[in-house]
Every structure is written in structure tokens, then in C-alpha cells.
Structure 1
Amino acid sequence: MAVRFRKSIKLAPGVRMNISGSGLGWTLGPRGASIGIGKRGARLNTSFMGFSSSQKLSGPSKKARPTPHKNQSTLVSLTCALHDDGTLTFQDADGNDLPEHVIEAAKKQNKEQILGMIQRKCDEINSSVEALGAIHLDTPSCTSRPAFIEVPFGEPEPTPPLLRKPNLLDRLFKKRMQRLTAQNAEAQAHFAANRSMWTEQQTKHLQQEQERRRLIEEGIYASTSDMETWLEYNLQDICWPRETDISLEVLDDGKHVALDVDLPEIEDMPTATASVPSRGLKLSVKTLSATATQKLYMAHVHAIAFRIVGETFAALPKATQVTLSGYSQRPDKATGRITDEYLFSVRVGRGAWSDIDFGRLTDVDVVEALARFDLRRQMTKTGMFRPIEPFSQ
């Protein structure tokens, strides 16, 4: 039986912020604030709660003011893009690069917004790195049994429409009355359809809750297929930083659980960290070394194994032993073909697992934690793996 988990974090190739407006020449700025750049110089225009003001920033004196011409208004849309390498680009609506003076005006007027965009991108890059080695921090304790907690149906019941009552003119004119009657009938039909759909969704939700109650209170103690279903439910509920495939089988009437985990590839690991310099509008991106990437991968795959073992013991009270083997796709040095190579295989007993202090998981080194159990692993200190033969079921 195989379980395919959704990819929960997907790094986009760039973050974009749009700055648009209209006016004489170029107009830059968010809603409520803009810089107009044209033949008369630059002006700062602001508005708040219905009040507007305009302040001259630069330009010729009143004596040098040119004669206004008709049809001088230009609509301009600027796009500021922050890329993964930390560079900022400014382009117009057609994708053309903008003059430097326009870029500088955009940066000056929208400094806080651009800084916020840069900081968000920095946090996104760094959090994607940190999340890989922190999956185990939410591992549940296996000391308590699963308990059913009902999830209420969240959709509010549709409210009946307020039907319009006929007035004197409606009663006097037949067509007005017919139109009013048709509008009320349409509103009632729309309400009836919405309520029917709501009732159907509510019934489905209640059935799912009843099935979940049965699984928790009965199934996980009596049926191995129910045990597998409940374990899949719990594993699928986790937000995995990378796509993770798991095959599982419940054996010995629920006492033994065997799991095969298709681990992410080292090529899928993030390749950089980021920081925001104190000066300038830019993002500093630092490439991870090969050794740092290997160590990150080592922490990630062990954190996956730790979390899955913990989730299995917490979900299945009858399980006394978990055997988990993690493999990866790698090229065979003799043939060049891509094959599955097992990186580690571990057997864990519930008694030894319960010795872990789940209230202090931040102090747990998952690489060392798995070594406490019956473990097959050939790995260097920097996280380079050699293939091993996994435990049989």
C-alpha cells in the first residue's frame, strides 16, 4: 500500500510587487500615495480618508513653468521583481527596462514596501532551509491513546432571502407584478439549491466524523486495514517540506508496522541562505557549500524517519515495534542506471521509544537518536551515505 503526500512548500522563482497609477508623465506609488514625474518636475501626492494633498519635490521654478498641452497624460504600470539571486529589476507593462531616474524615484517613494518584500523573500529562503531539519519537533508522544474530538461542520446554514413585497404600483401594473413575482421565485429557487447543497455537505461531514470515531474508538484495536487507514490519515495530515512517498504494512495483528520511505534526493535540497544588508535595497544570497548541503540532507532524512516512527506509535496503540527503511534513487556506478539504494534501516521498540523526552525535542539530535536503536547505516560525519541492506519484515 503506497501513500503519496502533497508537496507543502513550493519555492516560487520570484516575488513580485506591482506599482501603478496615472498622471502627467510617470506616476509611481501605491494607492493613496504617488510620485508624479514629468516636465514640471516631481510632486508627492497623498490621500487619506478623503483628504488629499500635493507637495512639490523638484522641478523648475514658476517662471520656467511650460505651457500645458492637451493629451499629455500617460498611464504607466511598473513591476518591481525580486529574483532568487537577490537582484531587483524594474520594468514597464511591456517588460521593458526602465530609465535609472525612474527606478531611483520608485525606490525612494516605495522604500518601505520594497524592504518588506525583500525581508519576506529572505525569510522564505531561510525558513525553507530551517524547516528541513525541524520536522521532528512536532513528533507526538506515544504515552496517550488517540481520542476522538468531533470537528463541527464549519459552513453556516444559508439564510432565506428577503422577498420583496408588492407596493401599490406593482399591484396596478401587471408587468411590474409579473417581474416582481419572477424575481422572488428566482431568489427562492437559488436559496433552495444552496440549502440542498449545504444539507448534502453537512450529511457527508457527519458521516466522515462517524467513520473517524469508529476508527479511533474501535478500528485501530481490531482491524489491520483500519490501522493502515488511520495511520495514512495521520501521515497525510503532516505538512512535509518535500514530497515524501511511504509504503506501509501492518503485521502480526497490529503489533509490528513496516514502512518503506522514498526519501527526497540531495539534489532537491535548498542551495542558499539569505540576509538583508543594513544599507541599500538588496538581498544578499549566499550559496551553501557541498558539505553544508550534505549535512542539511543528513538532518532532513533522519528527521523524516524520526517523525514517521513517532507518528506510527502515537496513532497505533497496539504497535510494539516499527521497522522503517529509507531509500533514495541514485545512479549505479557500474551501469549508470538509476536504482533504489537504501540509506538506513532501523528497528524501534515502543518501550525504548517512550524513553525520549518529547517535551524537549529541540535538544534531540535526530541523527544520534536513531543510533540508540537497532540501526543499519553507513554514513560519514558530513552526511555521505553508502548503500546498506535493509531489515526484512
Structure 2
Amino acid sequence: MEFRFQRRIRLAPGVRLNTTRLRPGLSLGPPGISLLIRRDGEGESLPVDLEITASGEIRYRHADGTRMTMAEAREVRRCAEGELREALGAHCEALNAQLDRLPRLHEQAPAPDATGYHPRSYPEPPPTPMAETRPAWWQSLWAPARLRHHRENAQREAQHAAAYRAWEWRKAEFDAREFQRQQREDEASWDDPDAMQQTLVERLEELAWPRETLIDFELVDDCRTIAVDIDLPGPEEMPDRRWSMPAKRIKLSPHRLTVTRQRQLYRDYLHGVAFRVLGAAFARLPRIELALVSGYRCLNDPAAEGGERRYLFSVKVTRAQWQGLAFDDLPGLDPGEALAGFALRREMTRGGELCAITPFEPDWRWR
């Protein structure tokens, strides 16, 4: 099947843009941890990588990736039990927090009146001036030493001046980009399709995407309508367990979610993705009057271009309808119910599974 729309962006954690269609490989267990373990009576620290299996067991590896022997792993646990438990406990909380964020993606959607752009301040502080050192008494008495000390101070001053000039260039380039972005969002995003596209990409990048998200979109109807297709993960790609830390063992314990909870989490995630894309479109593109957002799964090789698509939902929203939502209480809003208040194509079985639907097509007769 050919792509319905021509423009494409790929968003992911640590966002990158790409024109290819790739999915990262899935590991069986949660991400691992890298630590520096202090040895008893020694000043050096031992780098240790903790690999966490799907069952929560810990495998100890050296920094180069080689597996530790059983004796080495026991020594690590003996020397650093407290550090290990603290690190694993924090990691467990982080994994559960990621799971808890999945059904709350809609809370990041901007209100429709949040237009315009406020330039950011350059985040890098200027280089710290190097204090001039005073010569020792003997350097003051010996001319060669006094001259060498003077040269060292002059060299440090020159290094600081060079570092400061480089910082000023970076700051000037950053400020120029911020000014251009402000001009683009305040003025060009009203009627320039390229500026509108860049604005949408930048705004979507700023959101925290917990999973890779591939988006196709097109501006039509004299840039008054935006049509968006979202490549969705399958239910098997979603987290299916919570984690806890046993009281007496250095490991994590997985607790599998019920099938009902997994399906609910999946639906909330899909609706949340659609909600935040709608929010970005209406808030950042003031010319847009109608948005069509559809979500699909690729049924064959996800790395193949033009694969067959199975659409799971399609929603049509006008700006007036979107402005009627309660954006002052997004945590209390159910994104699935909110989307059901618009023109929505979505079919579910009694068990809560989403069925295939026919998505909306851009239609200029709506006005």
C-alpha cells in the first residue's frame, strides 16, 4: 500500500528524525544498569554492568561486556550490597514510572490558546575566568622562574579568552536560531507550508515520546486541514509487567499485568498519542481549522516501505470542538472518551481489542 501522505517524521526517545522505517530490537528484560563499585580498602572503583533478565535475575558483566565468573559476582555482592540494592531499587521505580506514564500521554498536550514561541536562554554558562596565580617567593628572586611563571599566567589567560570567544559564537548561533524560530512560529506558521511543517516537527520533538513513533502527515485545503497517520506499536510491544525489589535478594521481581489491564493500557496509550498530536497541531498551527488523525499497525515487515496497514482508529476534529475541552484539568480527562465526543471511527470487541476500520480521508466539503 502506498503512503497516503508525503511528509514523514520519526520520533523516539532521544528524538531523531529519519526518512527510513526501522524499529529498534526488543530485549527480553528491562534495560540494564552501569555502576562503579568501590572495593574494600582500595581507592579504585570497579565498573560493573548489571544485565537484568526477563525474570528479574541479575547477570554481572565487566565494562567490556564479558560475563563475570560466579566468584567475581559474589565478591561484587559482598563488597557493594548496599549500593546494588539502592541502584536496583531506583531502577525499579523508574521502570514502574515509565509504565505509569503510558496512559497519561495526553497530559502533555498544549492548550489550543498556547500559540507563539518564547525563546529559550542559552543553557551553557560562560567559561569560568582563570585566577592569576601569584609567584612563589623564590620565583620572584630568580628571573628565569619569574619569566616562566609570567608565561604560564599569560597562556592560561589566552586559553580562557579563546574559550570565551568560542562560547560567545555558540551563544550567538543559539540565540539566532531561537529568534528565527520565534519569527517562524509567530508569523510564517500562518501561511507558509514549509514553516508549518518545521514548527510541527519541532513541537512534536519536544514532547517525551516513550516509544518510537512514526508519523506521516499532509497539509491540504490551503493549509486549513492537516491529515496525520501514526504508525502504532502492537500490543506485544507494550510493557506487560510491574517490578518490585525483594527484601532479601539482589534481584527484581516481575509481576505480570492482567490481560484486561494490558488491553486498557494499550488503548489509553493509543488514544493519548492521538490526543497529543491533535494538541500540537491546533496549538502550534493557528491556520489549521480541521485535523484528521488516524492510527494504524503495519501487518508485515515493519522495515519494508509501503507495507499493508491495519487502521485501528480515525478521528476528525474541528478547532471549535477542540477548544471546547477542559484543558485546565487534563489529568482528570479520559482521552478515549474525549475522542469519542468527536467524529470517531473505532470498533472494539467485548474483550476490549481494537478492530480494523476504514480511516477518514481529507474532504474539502466539510466547511
TM bucket normalised to smaller = 0.7 to 0.9
* Structure of larger gyration radius: 1
Q: Which amino acid aligns with 1:6?
A: A
* RMSD of Structure 2 on Structure 1 (CA): 3.7
Question: Following the alignment from structure 2 to structure 1, what is the Cα–Cα distance between the partners of residues 50 and 193?
Answer: 53
**1:135, CA displacement in angstroms?**
0.4
Question: Following the alignment from structure 2 to structure 1, what is the Cα–Cα distance between the partners of residues 138 and 48?
Answer: 55
Aligned to 2:230: 261
Q: Which amino acid aligns with 1:198?
A: W
SS at 1:378 equivalent: coil
Q: TM-score, normalised by structure 2?
A: 0.77
**1:175, CA displacement in angstroms?**
3.6
Given candidates 245, 248, 266, the residue that maps to 2:217 is 248
Aligned to 2:332: 363
Question: Following the alignment from structure 1 to structure 2, what is the Cα–Cα distance between the partners of residues 188 and 18?
Answer: 36
Q: Counterparts in 2 of 1:225-374, with a 5 A limit?
A: 225-276=194-245, 283-331=252-300, 339-374=308-343
Q: Which amino acid aligns with 1:13?
A: P
Given candidates 105, 117, 135, the residue that maps to 2:87 is 117
**1:339, CA displacement in angstroms?**
2.6
**1:315, CA displacement in angstroms?**
1.1
Q: Which runs of 5+ in 2 are unaligned?
A: 1-6, 16-25, 363-367
Q: Percent identity?
A: 29
**1:362, CA displacement in angstroms?**
2.7
Task: Label 1:91 to 1:137 Cα distance change in 2 as closer, same or farther (>3 A).
Answer: closer
SS at 1:379 equivalent: coil
Given candidates 119, 127, 151, the residue that maps to 1:158 is 127
Q: Which runs of 5+ in 1 are unaligned?
A: 32-74
Q: Which amino acid aligns with 2:69?
A: N
Question: Following the alignment from structure 1 to structure 2, what is the Cα–Cα distance between the partners of residues 388 and 261?
Answer: 14
2:127·2:164 contact (CA, 8 Å) conserved in 1? Answer: yes
Question: Following the alignment from structure 1 to structure 2, what is the Cα–Cα distance between the partners of residues 360 and 238?
Answer: 19
Q: Which amino acid aligns with 1:243?
A: E
Question: Following the alignment from structure 1 to structure 2, what is the Cα–Cα distance between the partners of residues 120 and 168?
Answer: 53
Aligned to 2:22: none
Q: TM-score, normalised by structure 1?
A: 0.72
**1:79, CA displacement in angstroms?**
6.2
Aligned to 1:7: 13
Question: Following the alignment from structure 2 to structure 1, what is the Cα–Cα distance between the partners of residues 132 and 76?
Answer: 57
**1:184, CA displacement in angstroms?**
3.2
SS at 2:262 equivalent: helix
Question: Following the alignment from structure 1 to structure 2, what is the Cα–Cα distance between the partners of residues 114 and 344?
Answer: 44
**Is residue 157 of structure 2 the alignment partner of residue 188 of structure 1?**
yes
Aligned to 2:174: 205
**Is residue 70 of structure 2 the alignment partner of residue 97 of structure 1?**
yes
Aligned to 1:60: none
Question: Following the alignment from structure 1 to structure 2, what is the Cα–Cα distance between the partners of residues 258 and 172?
Answer: 80
Task: Label 1:4 to 1:21 Cα distance change in 2 as closer, same or farther (>3 A).
Answer: same
1:128·1:270 contact (CA, 8 Å) conserved in 2? Answer: no
Q: Counterparts in 2 of 1:123-134, with a 5 A limit?
A: 123-134=93-104
Greater per-residue strand proportion: 1
Q: What does the per-residue CA deviation read over 1:268-301, in whole Å, with 9 as the maximum and x for residues that have no partner?
A: 2112112345676653311234444333222211
Q: Which amino acid aligns with 2:178?
A: E
Task: Label 1:129 to 1:8 Cα distance change in 2 as closer, same or farther (>3 A).
Answer: farther
Question: Following the alignment from structure 2 to structure 1, what is the Cα–Cα distance between the partners of residues 117 and 265?
Answer: 37
Aligned to 1:179: 148
